[in-house]
């Protein structure tokens, strides 16, 4: 799928989690719901770090372009080192390492560890990166016609304001994990969810997605999971734009109302 659809699906997924949490009598404070949805929307773009033409490659100027090149080479190297005889040859690393559940869990765990052990600047850094990505994904038309600096300023301002709100008692810095020193441990959850939602979305397309690597399936280490080929669609097709994106908006709205216990 393309960037806007990935971001919408990520936001909708977190709002759905919020509705489930409310149904289980552990509702999210509204700042956690909002911040988590934005982080998940941004994280749903992150697996495409292995593609130099993806939305994320343009999000942070030369830094993200260089990083995408490095991740592409790393992913390709891992693919070549671990592929089976049944796996096809590849010329690049797109839709390999960063499109696996293992990668999603590792990235989320790393973010949680950084948020828990780092100081306030670590939390601000995590929020800034994902706020910028959320703007690029959810407001992609405006982001494309604006300068990068304006997008970065919006991301930085949003991160600063939201971190201040979360720090207020009862607003969510200790949501879910209440032990000493476990502030913001939950930040890794929307990052894992966003990456997994991205992978599931790509699995619906023609190429499929090797979500379960390195588990062997049909003699392949990098088996591209997906529905029957007759049910798949091409990225950016009318199915994605005219059907799936509106569905994501509706599901997100329903999930948000449920999370706020308005349904």
Question: Would you state the structure tokens that stand for residue 38, as one six-digit string?
Answer: 């934005």
CA distance 149 to 154: 9
CA distance 116 to 3: 29
CA distance 177 to 255: 22
pLDDT digits 0-9 by tens, 107-140: 999 999 999 888 889 999 999 999 999 999 999 8
pLDDT digits 0-9 by tens, 51-80: 888 889 889 999 999 999 999 999 999 999
pLDDT per residue as tens, the chain (263 positions): 888 999 999 999 999 999 999 999 989 999 999 999 999 999 999 999 998 888 898 899 999 999 999 999 999 999 999 999 999 999 899 999 999 999 999 999 999 999 988 888 999 999 999 999 999 999 987 877 788 899 999 999 999 999 999 989 888 888 888 777 788 899 999 999 999 999 999 999 999 999 999 999 999 999 999 999 889 999 889 999 999 999 999 999 999 999 999 98
Compute how many other C-beta atoms are within 10 angstroms of the C-beta atom of residue 102. Answer: 13
Report which of 214, 209, 251 is spatially closest to residue 8, judged by C-alpha positions.
251
Question: Would you state the structure tokens that stand for residue 192, as one six-digit string?
Answer: 């894992």
CA distance 48 to 66: 13
Report which of 257, 262, 247, 200 is spatially closest to residue 33, judged by C-alpha positions.
257
Q: Which residue has the tokens 């490095």?
A: 70
CA distance 6 to 252: 13
Compute how many other C-beta atoms are within 10 angstroms of the C-beta atom of residue 219. Answer: 10
CB 51 within 8 A of CB 76: no
Tell me the three state secondary structure of residue 170: coil
CA distance 113 to 116: 5
Buried b (16+ CB within 10 A) or exposed e, 28-51: bbebbbbbbbbbbbbbbbbbbbbb
């Amino acid at each position: 799928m393309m960037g806007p659809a990935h971001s919408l699906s990520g936001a909708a997924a977190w709002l759905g989690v919020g509705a489930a949490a409310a149904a289980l009598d552990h509702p999210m404070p509204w700042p956690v719901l909002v911040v988590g949805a934005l982080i998940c929307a941004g994280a749903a773009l992150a697996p495409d770090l292995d593609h130099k033409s993806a939305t994320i490659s343009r999000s942070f100027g030369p830094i993200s372009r260089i990083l995408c090149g490095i991740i592409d080479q790393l992913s390709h190297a891992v693919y070549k080192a671990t592929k089976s005889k049944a796996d096809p040859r590849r010329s690049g690393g797109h839709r390999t390492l960063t499109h696996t559940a293992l990668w999603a869990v590792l990235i989320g765990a790393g973010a949680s560890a950084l948020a828990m052990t780092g100081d306030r600047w670590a939390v601000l850094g995590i929020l800034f990166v994902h706020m910028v990505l959320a703007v690029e994904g959810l407001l992609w038309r405006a982001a494309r016609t604006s300068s990068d600096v304006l997008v970065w300023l919006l991301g930085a301002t949003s991160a600063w304001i939201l971190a201040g709100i979360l720090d207020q008692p009862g607003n969510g810095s200790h949501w879910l994990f209440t032990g000493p020193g476990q502030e913001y441990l939950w930040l890794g959850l929307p990052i894992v969810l966003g990456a997994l939602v991205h992978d599931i979305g790509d699995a619906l397309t023609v190429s499929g997605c090797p979500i379960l690597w390195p588990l062997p399936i049909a003699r392949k280490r990098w088996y591209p999971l997906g529905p029957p080929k007759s049910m798949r669609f091409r990225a950016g097709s009318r199915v994605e734009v005219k059907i799936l994106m509106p569905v994501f908006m509706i599901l997100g709205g329903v999930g948000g109302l449920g999370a706020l216990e308005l349904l």
